[in-house]
Structures are given as C-alpha cells and as structure tokens.
Chain A
C-alpha cells in the first residue's frame, strides 16, 4: 500500500464518478486521436499515391480534378484529349517517362485504366500471379480488386460504362484476367489495368468505321529535372489545348482545403479535453473536501505533507491516464468502424490500427492537463491544518 495504490483505491471507491470523468476526457482524446490518425493516413496515402508523378497532362478544366481523377482515381476526369496532341511529350527532352491513361469504365466500382505496360514500372507495381496483358481485352487486376471480386487469372469480367457500379454494361465485350498485381498499399490495388486498345475496342461501335483520332484521358509524366517542372507546364498550358497540373501543388491545395475542416474538428476536441481537465479538477477538489479527514488521518499515521499531496496528484494522473487510454482506444475503434462500414473510407486504406506520431504528444498533453488539474487540490492538501481538521471532526 503506497500513495499510488491508495489513489487507485479512492478512484475505485467512487467508480461511477471516476468512469464519467474518464469518459469525458476519453471523448476529447478520441476525437483528436481519430483526427490525427485520419490526417496522418490521408497525407501518407496521398503522398504514396502520387510518388514518382511529376506532372499530369489532360483536358483543360480544374487542375485539382485532373490530379484527383488521374493520380488518385477519386474524381471524374476533366475530359478527353487527342492522343496525337500528347505525342510531342513522349519524346520531349525534359520528359524521362510518359504513360498514357484512358479512363471512363469500371468493374463493380473499381476503375478500369487503359494504359501501357510502362504504367507498372511507373508506379512500382509487379505482377504477383499470372502475366501482364499482351492482347486486346486482357486485364491485370490490383490486389484488392482480385480479393474483393474473388477473381484469379483466367477469370472473365464485364466492364460498365462510367465510374458508377450501376453504369450500363459493355455486355458484348468480356475481359480475361491474365494477372494479379502484388499489393502496393496504394491506389494501384484498386485498379483494373488493360491496354489502351482494349478501352478503345470496347467503345468502338460495331459497324462504324474506326475512329481515326484516338482519345485518351491524360498522360502521367516523370520529368528529368526540377527545372522541367517549372518550364514544361507553362509551355503545355500556353501552347497546347491541354492542361498540365502538378500533383504536389494540387495535393498541397487539397490539404489546405481539408485541413481547415480538420482544424475545426480538432478545436472541438480541444474544447472537450479542456472541459475534461476542468472535470478532473472539480472531481479532485470534491474528493479533497470529502477526504479532508482521511488525509488528516494519514498525517497522524506519519505521512508527510508531500505524501498526502502525492495521493491527489496520483489520483489526477491515474484518472487522466485512464481517460487517455480509453480515448485512444475509442478513437481508433471509431476509425476502424468507419473504415469497415463506409466503403470509400475502407477503399482509401483508412484503418483504425494506424497510430499517428502526434498522438504521443496528445497523450502527453492530456497527462499535463491531469497534472495541472490536480496541482491546486494537491497544494491545498499539502497546506491542510491537520489539528484543525481533526478538531472540527
């Protein structure tokens, strides 16, 4: 039996008050922890998905929309561009690698990307089972697509027009799965890859003459130098009918847009935490009043002033620790529930198991709040006039 175990005994004795105070703190911690983890995963995911892509070229429109649709596969494309317009880019001296993309179809909500085999090199993806496509209407599936749809090499699949699961089917064309990609932890896991020719073949009307001008959605570029990242977009935007957008710049814009919303929620969490700190203070002040005699008795048994004050500090810290642990568990459990119940959140790779480094500071901050809230009652306990308390009974 020491000051800490006695503090725990006091917390157990009034378990309902303890639980309510811990819950109040836990709600604040959970809100902020979930936001920290979400923010961390969101940034990490966006950064991984855009890795290696210096520039995206597509139809004129919103640069953010172009980046979202061609890099993150999270928005509708800005439109189509002529393949011939992109030809000068392919051999441009500033371009290290260029990969065309043709979007617009999907399989059960997973987007079909018509592209060249270089796309796999570009995105650091490798075929885990089977082989890459080499004939029209052959497709390679991202790891999650294969898992969710239960498909393996040799299986057939039917695409739908548009990006919705309810889009009209291209019933006359069936793809054959030739390979499955190894998991990458990026948007690649959720794509169905095929050749540009396959996408065009699916959209060519039977009986009609082949289109002489092939269209694509965009081109992903890896540039040779940082200078190219400045000069090439300016050139494309001013001298061609296309739009060049930098994923880095557009992602920063996206963070700024989303960040302000997160800041509001974070502020709400801070208010909850501050309220909880006040709750701990009120609980300990009340405890001090109720236990004035107990604390005086401890002094008669030989406890020093510091020891008695320590009981209240430990009580505040233990209460805060309980609230913090519960809050972290609650926050991550909430995030996991969101990831499992909302398809888009799960699809974006959101998980309740990812702990953001900032959460360590959150826990430390909570403990400091608990310590601060317990200091005033502890100081009062330290200064208690034992003889007077005993005399008053």
Chain B
C-alpha cells in the first residue's frame, strides 16, 4: 500500500534548541500509528508539522502526496481542510455555534457545501444525533469528544491526527473514544496517528514511534 505519510531527515528546533530529529518514517494509507514520548518530547510539534500548521526546519515531509514546504500558505490551508482531520486533547469546539454548525463549518472550510444529511447520519452513528442543535457547552463530558471526532471525520479525510485524545478521560471514556476514532478511521479508510503518553492506549498500537527529545 502507498505511503500516506513520508518523513525524511526531519529536524526542528525552538530557539536553537532541537526538539525533533527523525531520520525516516512512513505510514501507509489506512494504517495507524502512535507517537509516544514524555511531555516536551515534540509529539504535538510533530502533529503540527504533519498537519502543515508548522514547517519543519529541515527534511522532507509528504502527506497525502503533498510536500508541505512546496505549497503556499493558502494551498496548505486548503489541503489540510480536505485531507486532514484533527482531534485535540481539549477538543476546542466552537462554543458560539451548535454541534451541527460546528460540522457545517468544517464542511465549508474543506471546500464543500453543508450536507445536513451526512451530518445527521454521522452524529447518529456516534450516538449524539439528538444533540445536534445544542451548543457544545451544553453537552455532557462523554458527548463532547464524539463531536470533536465527528468534526474531524466529516470530510472523510485521508489522515486523522489526534493529540492526547484520552488524557483527561477515565478508563471507560478513554476506551470508547479510541474505539470511535478507530471505527471512524476505518470507515473513512483514513490513516490514524495518535500522539499520547497514555499507556492505556499506546499498548493497543502495533506501530509506535517514541520521541525522546532531540539532543
């Protein structure tokens, strides 16, 4: 299977302090991998680089056939909207608008038109169909991560990135979130990359890239 992510000689530093050095790493389309490491080891930075939100100081990073460095900022924004879904630890749902509008917004920003049927189907699939018109802060602790997952997968991305998606959850909710993430990634045929230091989920990944902080 073709590589969805390909990293060659990636280096990155903050204020001349190296935080990432990855010789070569790749992930095939539809596969999943975890990025492990202690706090400050560069897990989030790597996710940002994979999402094209940050350009690495050195190396070549290709995601879904696009070399981020070769794209203009606008092209990167468009490519990200189309190809990548991101789930954050703090979820970061837009509180001013309803769950449905959060998903509509994701559709529009990816270049699509708001497809309400698709949104309803997805929310129903994730068990939050009845909350579609609620604002995110009205949802329960267990419902909000589902909305974040729905937003990440609504455009059927090629790659789903999740940054510490379970760190604030109890065992049951953590297992549910991972199950939903994996299920949705499979349903989209997307690759899944999860950055975490949560042993409960790292053990469930066959492929784990451990970052120790570049020295």
Contact = CB atoms under 8 A, between A and B. Distances in A.
A300 B80 contact: yes
Given A1-B97, A6-B97, A301-B106, A390 B77 contact: no
9 contacts: A299-B77, A300-B53, A300-B86, A303-B109, A304-B77, A387-B45, A387-B54, A390-B53, A391-B48
Q: How large is the interface on B (under 10, 10 to 19, 20 to 34, 35 or more residues)?
A: 20 to 34
The A interface, classified by DSSP as helix, strand, loop or mixed, is helix
Nearest to B48: A387
A293 B86 CA distance: 14
Contacts of B97: 1, 6, 9
Contacts of B197: none
A60 interface: no
A297 B104 CA distance: 14
Interface in A376-390: 386-387, 390
Interface in A221-246: none
Interface of B: 44-45, 48, 51, 53-54, 73-74, 77-78, 80-82, 86, 88, 90, 92, 94-97, 101, 104-106, 108-111, 114, 151
The B interface, classified by DSSP as helix, strand, loop or mixed, is helix
A301 B110 CA distance: 7
Contacts of B90: 293, 393
A302 B73 CA distance: 11
Residue in B73, B94, B97 with the greatest tally of chain A CB atoms within 10 Å: B94
B74 A304 contact: yes
B73 to A, nearest CB: 7
Contact of B109 (A9, A13, A302, A387): A302
Interface in A1-36: 1-2, 6, 9-10, 12-13
A282 interface: no
Contacts of B111: 302
Contacts of B51: 300
A391 B77 CA distance: 19
Nearest to B107: A1
A1 B80 contact: no
